[in-house]
Amino acid sequence: MSTRLRILRLLALLTIIVSMLTPTLASADLLPVTATTVYQQPSYTVSRHYAGLLSPLRTSMPGFETGGVVARVAVEEGDEVKVGDLLIELDPAASRADYRAVKAEVQSAQARHSAQRARLELSLSSLQRYKDLVVKGHGALQRLDELQIQSEIESAQVEVLKTQLQAAAAKLMLAAVRLEKLRITASFDAIVQTRQVDEGSIVSPGQVVMTLIERGEFELKVGIPDAMVAYLREDQVYRFNVMNRSVSGRLTAILPVADVVTGTVTAVFRLADAGLYAGTVAELVMNAEVDEPGFWLPLSALSESQRGLWSVFVIRSGAGGQTVETRLVEILHRGDDAVFVRGTLRDGERIVSAGTARIVPGQRVDVTRENPVVGSASPSLARE
């Protein structure tokens, strides 16, 4: 075989091999990507968290108005009490003796008042009979005047004894109040948080003997920035994170004076008890709608650009297949796994949502999967 013929056969073989490899090389030039179709949203929702401390609606730290020796403590720490339940009592012996003495004084004043009223009635009766004699011409005018003056004296004595009786009755009432104040009862349904004294202890006037905490609802005061106050609505229900739990509460008031240090406005909420504890940190979760158009994108779709901007690869279809081009965007809000952006994107365009590190502008791509954007702070961008 001549050399020329061998060369021609070799060229023919190379041509066949190249023709067989050409489709494979062409397909190797396509980069598989995941795409997402984006749609413009008129606004986005931001979530803000503000913390405060739970406190009971009412806290009572009772004490006695007068000192004395503790005779009985009827409750222990942690006990639940109802309105009117006895909590603690002082030794009443001395006060009971005072009460009995004043009661005897009242009875004596009543007796004196009754006796004087009898004398007054007798005086008035004698005066009337003598007036009848004078009318018939049998009595002396001087004696009539004496009887008249005597009746007025007896009447004045009745008023004096009546005042004394009223004073003694007031003293008896005061003694009864003092006797009652030796006992402290619950003024509202509560739980005993602490007790500071035991039986036999001597307490002084005004000394705190225990602490009561009201249960049922908690109060929460939270400092809210002025810009977020407009989103608050009285009696509206809000969500709170407390002790790794989500509980609900309602807004009861917005205080009119801002904090001079923080510049925040105090909002007052009420939360159901639900097994919570006073002094626990509660975090208010507020959602606010921001009227700013833009697009929700997955974090994986972004590539860092210049001057604080980010770039996104948009998939374009043409005669030569699908290629990508760069669009610049600005992040307006960042969620857990998605961002809300504005920029040169257009409604309904498809973007590369993953694997952007391997892509350059003009790269030919093969879309192998379509994904919607789903993030904790963003809705799905798939239209219904």
**282 pLDDT tier (thresholds 50, 70, 90):** very high
Predicted pLDDT at 308: 75
Predicted pLDDT at 212: 95
Predicted pLDDT at 252: 93
Token pair, residue 113, equals: 């008042």
Residue 121 forms beta bridges with which residues?
Answer: none
Q: Are 209 and 203 in contact, with CB atoms under 8 Å apart? A: yes
Mean pLDDT, residues 188-209 taken together: 93
For strands 31-37 and 364-370, give the pairing: parallel
Q: How far is CA 82 from CA 163, 180, 208, 215, in A?
A: 41, 18, 20, 11
Q: Is residue 16's pLDDT more than 50?
A: no
In the block, tokens 């009572």 appear at: 60
pLDDT digits (tens, 9 = 90+) for 45-85: 888 899 999 999 999 999 999 889 999 999 999 999 999 99
pLDDT digits (tens, 9 = 90+) for 137-174: 777 778 777 878 888 888 888 888 889 889 989 998 99
Q: How many CB atoms lie within 10 A of CB 172?
A: 20
pTM above 0.85, yes or no: no
Predicted pLDDT at 6: 60
Predicted pLDDT at 199: 93
Please give the Cα distance from 276 to 278 (Å, whole number). 7
Q: Are 178 and 94 in contact, with CB atoms under 8 Å apart? A: no
Mean pLDDT, residues 128-132 taken together: 78
Predicted pLDDT at 3: 61
Determine which of 207-211, 286-290, 317-321 has the lowest per-residue pLDDT on average: 317-321
For domain 48-57+217-290, say whether CATH 2.40.30.170 is its number: yes
Predicted pLDDT at 19: 44
Q: Which are the contacts of 344, defined by CB distance < 8 A and separation ≥ 6? A: 327, 328, 329
Phi, psi of 377 (to 5 degrees): -110, 10
* E strand or H helix that includes residue 286: strand 281-290
Q: Are 342 and 330 in contact, with CB atoms under 8 Å apart? A: yes
- Count, residues in the chain: 384
Predicted pLDDT at 64: 93
Please give the Cα distance from 362 to 322 (Å, whole number). 9
Half-sphere CA count of 267, side-chain side, radius 13 A: 27
Predicted pLDDT at 142: 80
Please give the Cα distance from 106 to 241 (Å, whole number). 63
Q: Is residue 266's pLDDT more than 60?
A: yes
pLDDT digits (tens, 9 = 90+) for 370-382: 776 544 344 433 3
**250 pLDDT tier (thresholds 50, 70, 90):** very high
Please give the Cα distance from 40 to 343 (Å, whole number). 11
Burial class (CB in 10 A: 0-12, 13-18, 19+), 98: middle
Q: Are 190 and 75 in contact, with CB atoms under 8 Å apart? A: no
Token pair, residue 313, equals: 């690869």
Determine which of 25-34, 35-44, 126-135, 346-355 has the lowest per-residue pLDDT on average: 25-34
Please give the Cα distance from 66 to 132 (Å, whole number). 62
Q: Is residue 237's pLDDT more than 70?
A: yes
Please give the Cα distance from 125 to 143 (Å, whole number). 14
Decide: helix, strand or coil at residue 186: coil
Predicted pLDDT at 22: 40
Q: How far is CA 161 from CA 39, 107, 115, 164, in A?
A: 97, 12, 10, 5
Token pair, residue 365, equals: 């791509």
State the Rg of the chain over Cα: 47
How many Å separate Cα 375 from the centre of its chain?
29
Predicted pLDDT at 33: 84
In the block, tokens 């003598």 appear at: 130
Instruction: Supply the DSSP symbol for 243.
Output: T
Q: ∠ at Cα 271 (265, 276), nearest 5°?
A: 120
Please give the Cα distance from 58 to 225 (Å, whole number). 27
pLDDT digits (tens, 9 = 90+) for 292-313: 899 999 888 888 887 778 989 9
**18 pLDDT tier (thresholds 50, 70, 90):** very low
For domain 64-91+182-215, say whether CATH 2.40.50.100 is its number: yes
Q: Are 16 and 342 in contact, with CB atoms under 8 Å apart? A: no
